[in-house]
Each structure stands twice: as structure tokens, then as C-alpha cells.
Chains A and B, each alone.
Chain A
Amino acid sequence: MSTEAVLLVAAALFGIGVYGVLSQQSFVMLMMGLELLINGALLALVVLWARAAGGNPQGQMLGIVFMTVMAVEMTLGFALITGVYRVRRADITEKLRRLKG
């Protein structure tokens, strides 16, 4: 369980997340890609906290901030998806052609 192995796993999760964010048409699937991005970043943060920062508690604090960001992004993302669907009847990104309204 070397640092490199864990960072490799984090990079893999991040790469899959980038693929998901760029390729998915549906809003909800796009958000799942975003979740994977933050997942990978969180894993990289914690392995560096454990191996390279000597257990500095501020590293764990940053991890808590990451999880707060995850929660906030998902909540507002779902609320906006609901709102956009009600006004524009759009559930995939292709249907939103204009930013106005």
C-alpha cells in the first residue's frame, strides 16, 4: 500500500470522473462524474496526509471541507436539475441551447 499505489488509484478515479463529466449528456450522470472527481481528490489528499504531512490535523479538516463541498454540490445540483426541468423540460444538456431564462 505504497503512496504511489494509492495516488495511482486516485488518478484513475479522477480520470474516470473527467470522462464522465465530458461525455455524459444527462445531468444526473454528469453529476456522478463530478462526484468521482471529488472522490479521487479526497483519496489523494488523505494519502498525502497520512504519508507526507505527518498526520497534521488540518489535512483531515480539509477532507471535511471536501465532503461539505460534495454535499453542497449535490444538493444544489439536484435542485437546479429539478428547476430546469420544470421550466424548460430539459433533462439532457443538448436541450439547453441558451443560457437566458
Chain B
Amino acid sequence: MRPYLGAEVSLIAIGVTLIAGVYLVAVLDRVLGAAVAGSPIRTRLFLAEPALSAAQLLIQGRRTTERPDAAGWVFAPALFLGLAAVALAMVPLAPDLVVADPATGFVVFSAAIAFVMIAVFLHGWSPNSPFALHGAYRYAAQALSFQIPFLLAMLATALPAESLSIVDIVRAQEPLWNVVRQPMGLPLYLIVGVAVSFWGPLNLPDGSDLADGTSVEDSGMARLLWKLARAAMLVAVAAMGAAGFLGGWFGPVLPGPVWVLLKTLLLLVVLVGSGHLLARVRIERFVTIAWAILIPLALLNVFVSGFFLL
């Protein structure tokens, strides 16, 4: 039985990490937006603004539509947040400091990512509104397309480890980090990582061309919860990228967990910054790219890393 944190400590750890991570994503969004646009970075305002906008959403009135699927509408953000928590629970901070380390941790993480499809579809289907359903269908196309490149990109990291457990995958990077051994892996992972939480250039389901897509009828607490869940999933994806590609807890001077946080911060800057640097991609183009370009690249990545292992 691998060592893991106790139940209460785990809950607190994941809760704190999610809240801190979501706040960090919100602040980074504003800071990077100001940096790219060339406007001054108003530190105090940017640090306080996420809390202010969250408070404003909380006092906003609840809005409903005609004959919604009420249970599904409430369930979708909760499911999304739960999946983000499960995905984050798979990331190890140190060889003996992990919430859960099943022998098939990689598959649990991938299952959590796959279930996001269900959460977004429910969120778009439930309000009984055309733009929301449109957004849900877009995410269905987007998610089914990126699943295979996602699995293949992460699978290549499991090859040197000869194990599906995330702790083993990080341990196998002791001689050399995966970003150096498998150079195509991290860019692929980041591209589909942006697609999982539909951030920035791949914000097709909740895009502004659909008047906020699946969130079009959301207001108040539900809207806040959906935004939180999306940001939380982004944090989980960044954390797993840090563990799988950037060597997890390995680093010269600082203790292991601090390195994990620093690497997660780096990937978060990249993921959140992509929203301010890249234009939104059309769904047809993304689907074509995912099936025709990303899958061959991911397969090539797996073959090359397997070849060098034999």
C-alpha cells in the first residue's frame, strides 16, 4: 500500500490548493492581460478584483428559464468542481506526500478529464436554451477530438516509468526531465490542456460569439461556481503537466513541494497567457487539427520515446 495523506488532511489540502489556485488564475488573468495590452499593472486592484467580482456575483439574483432540467443544471458545476478535485488529488508533492497514488493514477486522471465532457454537456443542455446547447455540442466535438492526443501525450510520459502511477512517472524523471526527453510532449499537452478547460483560444463552448455559450443563462452563484470549476480544472491540468513533464519535485536548492508549486505556476502563466496572446480558433479548424495533425504528432512522440527506450 503506497503511503498517502490521511482523509482529513487530504480534504483540507485539496480545498486550500483549489481556492488558492483559482484566485491565482484570476489574478494572473488580469496581470497578463494588462502586460500584453501595455496598460499599467495595478497590483492592489488586481489582487482585490477577483474577490470583488465574486462578491458581486454572489449577490446577483437567480435567473431561471422555461422548463430547464433543474437537477442537471445544479449538478453540472458541482460535477466539474469534483472532477477538478479528483484530477488535482493525483498530483504528488513529494514521494510520500500525495493525496492518492493508485497503481493506475494516470487512468484515473484521464477518466476525470473525460468526465468533464459530461459536465459541460449537462451544463449546456439543462437551461433549455439554444445558445447553451450550441456551446454543449461544440464542447462535445472539441472534447472527443482532443481525447486521443491527450491520452497519447501523457502515455509517452508513462513509458520511461514502466508504470501508470504518477509517483513512478515523476521518479523516472530523476536523470532527465520528460520535457527534454520527449520534446513534442509538453507542447501537445499544453494545447489540449487549454482545450480541457476551454480557456482562451479554445473557449468555444463558452465563447463570446455565443453570448457566453453554456453559461448564457447562468447568474449569481451558479455562474461563479462554473467559473471556479473551469479555473480549478486549469490548475489541475497545469499541476499534472508539472509532474509529468517538468520533473515534479526534482530541483537543486529548494525543497520538493516548492518546486512543484513553481513549475505549476510556470505552466499556469503559459496557459492563462495563451488567452491573451492567441485568437480564438474556429471549431471546424480545431477539430481538423486535432484529428489530422495532433494525433499523428502524438503517435510519433510515443514511437520515438519508445524507440529510445528499447
A touching B, CB within 8 angstroms: no
Q: Which residues of B come within 8 Å of A, CB atoms? A: none
Q: Which residues of A come within 8 Å of B, CB atoms? A: none
